[in-house]
Each structure stands twice: as structure tokens, then as C-alpha cells.
Structure 1
Amino acid sequence: MPSLSSSYPSSSSSYDSVVVALRTAGCVFAEDEARLILAAARTPDEVAAMVDRRVAGHPLELVVGWAEFRGLRIAVAPGVFVPRRRTEFLVEQALAQAPDASVVVDLCCGSGAVGAALADALGPVELHAADIDPAAVECARRNIARAGGHAHTGDLFKALPDALRGRVDILAANVPYVPTDEVGLLPAEARDHEPLVALDGGTDGLDILRRVADEATDWLSPGGCLLVETSERQAPQAVTAFTRSGLTTHLAVSEEWYAHVVIGSHPH
């Protein structure tokens, strides 16, 4: 749990009332959420407004304005995809694959959490983040500023400076991978409060993944790697897409996080 120092001094009565409101709304971790809301709020009115939003079903991260990701506090904003803790596994795999990376690209970056976490672990790197959604890019710009990162708006590789071709050591692409017909089955927090463009991966959920794989070898350095998160069901097709694109491919699985990451290396 992050530090909960607060600019709004909460009394035990206000804490108790927030817990009751959240628990009544069905929040499983009402006590933890109450502490986070009270830590983020500056006035009693802000507490009330945040509780109302949370009770109405807004993701907690969007209510308090940040998400924890690999020990970092990542700023998030309404309309921006909230980073998932399971995606920390993708970051771990990238670091294991390319521990000496000097050029990193966070494609389909959303809040820029992956790029920020990679830069935090690697030290000084040339970091670029890109997304088709201007709101996401603005959010990412804030989160990668400390690492001196550059944020770009555009459709996949079209957003990137041409000078990056053949130089990227880690290409992390947390692409949308929910099949179109299954978006409606997502939890309301995602379905109602996150952008469709960050969720919908096309008919079988792999449209964007295939596009990224098809162009990746033009951008990767010799030995550079592409990493994409997918589902257990989609993993075999994703591996095939990587292999057909000329990448040396393997699948990494975390039982703890229920995470599946396809990793493709550019042949030397």
C-alpha cells in the first residue's frame, strides 16, 4: 500500500462513514479505499465528491487520480486506460530480455506506465511513448517526464520519429486484445469508464497485435525485443503472428498474475 499522508486531516468519524458508504456500494476493500480517498482529498467536499464517484462505479484509480504500478505512482485521468497490475509481468520480462536496453518504446502507451517503469528500472534511456488517443498521450507525457521521455500522438508506428527505425531495444506494446463481441462482457469499471480504442482488439482480439508484429522488425535493433500481453486463449495465435513476422518467439506465463506475454526477438 502506498504512503497515505494526507493534506486533509481525516477524523475517525469521517473514515468510518466513508468505509460504510463504500462497503454498502459493494467495494470489497472498503477500508483501504477509504484511506486512499481521504489521503487524496483536500477538503470534506472533495471527500464527498470522490465517494459519490466511487459509489457510482468509477474506478478507484480515476477517483483518486493515480494508480500504483511497479512501485510508482502513475497519474491517470478520466478517459484514459488504467494500468493493470498484471502488466508488471510484461515489464519484468522486458528487463530480463534486455537488461542493458538504451532505447525503449512504449506503444499503445495509455498512461505511459510501462515506459515509466522500464525507465525507472533501467536508468537513463531514450524513452518514447505513443498512443492514438490524445488524452492518453497527455497523461503519458506527465508520467514519463521524470525520465526525459518523449510522447507522440498517432496510429502505432506512424506516431514515432523515423530516426528510431532499427534502434529500438525494447518495444513494449500493450495493445487492446478484447474481441469486439466480448467488450460488453467486461466489468463495468472498464466498459463504462475506459476508452473503447484501448479495449477493442477487433474480431478475434488480435488485429492490433498483428499490425504491430508485422512492422516490428523495421524498428527493432539487432537482438531487440517486442513484448505484447495477450490472453491464454489467444496466446497460440499470437505466437504464430510473431513467428510469421520473422521474430524469434516464445511465450512467458505468470500463474500468479494470470498473465501471458508473447516475446519476439529480432534475429541478429
Structure 2
Amino acid sequence: MDDETEKCIITRLRSAGCVFAEDETRLLISEARTQAALEAMVERREAGFPLEQIIGWADFCCIRIVVEPGVFVPRRRTEFLVQQATAFAIPGAIVVDLCCGTGAVGAALAKALGCIELYATDIDPAAVRCARRNVTSIGGNVYEGDLYDPLPNKLRGNVEVLVANAPYVPTESIKLLPQEARKHEAMVAIDGGVDGLDVQRRVAAAALHWLAPGGHLLVETSERQAPMTAEIFTRNGLIPQVANYDELDATVVIGTRPSL
């Protein structure tokens, strides 16, 4: 691709509001097989489609995660959730990834720990199809259904690490999100209800039935919501702690099931 074409695409993406126009241009050029394909990709980006949905993958914890149209794109801040979960798991652990989306968190945990018994669920059929591409190839299991409902009964009381990047954006705040999230990602992966904590409440309410003694539930949330999430954990018999990582604007609340 000649320099003039590259400069032209950068200009177009800047005009469309893309902050990292140069990096995105290089990615689009590297992924396009023909000039016509490149033009179609640039037009979709100008129209506000997420870059990851256009090129078909996202870089998450140094793994190329398949991203299909319409699904929630893994965020960099969620890498902190993986880091925190890794600290509580060992190779061979039983790990459950609720609200798994693309399966990025589970896949990253499997890479970090070498070998885990991984189960992932999501209620969105498109996300489940995508997650199966990312998770089943590494030996994980993906189920379609609402939170714990589709999980095998044998996991009750045996899960050592339970991660849930559940939706936590308050309904009224969705209008403040970038257009690419509002228009091109599934609302079921974003809308957390009036205070953003509806799904977290449901996750915490059943956690003790699934966690092994001493097992851990980890959820991503916002720094502002973290005290409320911790209180929810306490009310449901979990011992809470809050971890923050300012560089990624990331907050994780960890709930531990007391040991017997």
C-alpha cells in the first residue's frame, strides 16, 4: 500500500473521530486482502463500527481473541480482572466465566495458568457462538443460558474461581457511552439496570452454592460502585475486598467463600 493511500485513510479516520487513526490505519491495511476490502473496512470504521468487529479480533492479554459483529468487545481494563483471578487460581483449578461474551477472560486465564477446567456461559447466542471459537479450541466448555442455569450440576460447591464481567453500566448512563458501544454492541452485555448492579446481585446471590470452600468470586465494576458491590457480597455470605488499578481505570471486587 502506497504512502498516499495510508495518509488518506488516516485523514478519513481522524475526521470520523478516531483518536488512534494512525494505529488503526496500519491494522486495517494489514488485515485487508484487497483494495476493495480495505475501502469497505474504512467505510465501516467511519460509520462507527468498533475496529475489533471490523478486523475480526481483539488483542487481550497478548492473545488474539476472535470478535464477531454485534458482540461486546473485550476492554483493556478487563485485563486487570484476569490478573486478579490468576492470583487466586492454580493449574488444574475449576474456573467458571459467567457473562463470558467472547470468552476472553476464560481464554486468558487458561493461557496464564497453563491448564484449567474451564466453563463459560452467556445468555446472548451471538456471544456464545463467538466464545466457542475462542474457548473450545483450548479445551474449555461454553454454554448458552442465564448465568448459572446451563452449568453442569457437578460443579456445585466445587468452583475455585468464579469470574463475572457482568454488565454494570446504569441504564441512564448508556447514552453517555461512545457510539460504537451504544449502536454496535449487545445491550445485554452493557445495561446493568437502574444502579448498574442488577446482574451482580444475581451472581452474588447464588455464588455460595457454586463456590468451593475458600473459593473466590471476582467481578469487574467501577470505583464508584465498588462499595455497593462489596456490600452485596457481604449480604450473600462472601468476605469482600476491593482492588484498583488506576492505569487502566479498573476496579475488581473479590468475594471469598469462608472455608469450612
Pairwise TM-score range, normalised by the shorter structure: over 0.9
CA distance in 2, matches of 1:23, 1:188: 15
Correspondence 1:66 to 2:65:
no
Deviation at 1:142, TM superposition (A): 0.4
Deviation at 1:25, TM superposition (A): 1.7
Q: Deviations over 1:42-72 (max 9, x none)?
A: 1111100000000111111111111110000
Q: Answer whether contact 1:79 1:135 (CA < 8 A) is retained.
A: yes
Q: Answer whether contact 1:105 1:168 (CA < 8 A) is retained.
A: yes
Q: SS of the counterpart of 1:213?
A: helix
**Of residues 144, 148, 156 in structure 2, which corresponds to 1:153?**
144
> Where does the alignment leave 5 or more consecutive residues of structure 2 unmatched?
none
CA distance in 2, matches of 1:100, 1:41: 38
Q: Answer whether contact 1:176 1:199 (CA < 8 A) is retained.
A: yes
Q: For residue 104 of structure 1, what is the amino acid of its counterpart? A: V
Number of equivalenced pairs: 259
Root-mean-square deviation (Å): 1.1
CA distance in 2, matches of 1:188, 1:225: 35
Q: What are the within-5 Å matches in structure 2 for residues 60-99 of structure 1?
A: 60-99=51-90
Q: For residue 73 of structure 1, what is the amino acid of its counterpart? A: R
TM-score, length-normalised on structure 1? 0.94
Q: Deviations over 1:208-232 (max 9, x none)?
A: 0010001011111121110001111
Deviation at 1:16, TM superposition (A): 2.2
Q: SS of the counterpart of 1:156?
A: coil
CA distance in 1, matches of 2:14, 2:7: 10
Q: What is residue 24 of structure 1 aligned with on the other side?
A: 15
Correspondence 1:192 to 2:183:
yes
Q: For residue 109 of structure 2, what is the amino acid of its counterpart? A: L
Q: Answer whether contact 1:101 1:170 (CA < 8 A) is retained.
A: no
CA distance in 1, matches of 2:109, 2:206: 22
Q: Answer whether contact 1:81 1:198 (CA < 8 A) is retained.
A: yes
Q: SS of the counterpart of 1:115?
A: helix
Q: Deviations over 1:190-241 (max 9, x none)?
A: 1111111011111111010010001011111121110001111111110000
Q: For residue 225 of structure 1, what is the amino acid of its counterpart? A: H
Correspondence 1:240 to 2:231:
yes
Q: Answer whether contact 2:93 2:117 (CA < 8 A) is retained.
A: yes
CA distance in 1, matches of 2:92, 2:145: 24
Q: What is residue 252 of structure 1 aligned with on the other side?
A: 243
Deviation at 1:20, TM superposition (A): 2.0
Q: Answer whether contact 1:232 1:260 (CA < 8 A) is retained.
A: yes
Q: For residue 179 of structure 1, what is the amino acid of its counterpart? A: P
Q: Answer whether contact 2:136 2:142 (CA < 8 A) is retained.
A: no
Deviation at 1:185, TM superposition (A): 1.6
CA distance in 1, matches of 2:142, 2:136: 9
Q: What is residue 168 of structure 1 aligned with on the other side?
A: 159
Q: What is residue 98 of structure 2 aligned with on the other side?
A: 107
Correspondence 1:54 to 2:45:
yes
TM-score, length-normalised on structure 2? 0.97
CA distance in 1, matches of 2:136, 2:31: 22
